[in-house]
Amino acid sequence: MKVIKKGFEHATIGKELTCVGDGFGKGKGGCGAVLHVVPADIYVKHFSIGDYDGTHYWFVCPECSAKTYVKYDVFHK
């Protein structure tokens, strides 16, 4: 497929979120960068521990590589 004319960016999709780190990534807290995060930037991991099933959602900061966990509905507010 070839793009004949580029469309516009969906600037309204996504949210400004702050890197807080949650203690992961490079082993330290986040750097405080404010990032424009879109749904495709969110990682999802499902897990089971005994009778408990859960899901974690996070993004990785491009500045410091720290993981910041977010709620499942971060883009629905």
Q: What is the mean pLDDT of the segment spanning 66-70?
A: 91
Could you list the residue range(s) of the whole structural domain that residue 61 is in? 15-70
pLDDT digits (tens, 9 = 90+) for 11-27: 567 899 999 987 555 56
The percentage of the chain sitting over the pLDDT mark of 70, rounded to a whole number, equals 83
Question: Does a structural domain hold residue 30?
Answer: yes
pLDDT one-digit tens code per residue, 30-50: 899 999 999 999 999 999 998
- Residue with more model confidence, 45 or 29: 45
- Whether 39 is covered by a domain: the verdict is yes
6 lies in some domain: no
What single string gives the DSSP state of each residue in 3-23?
-SS-----TTSSEEEE---TT
The count of structural domains within the chain is: 1
With a cut of 70, say whether residue 29 has pLDDT above it: yes
Residue 43 lies in a domain: yes
* DSSP secondary structure letter of residue 71: -
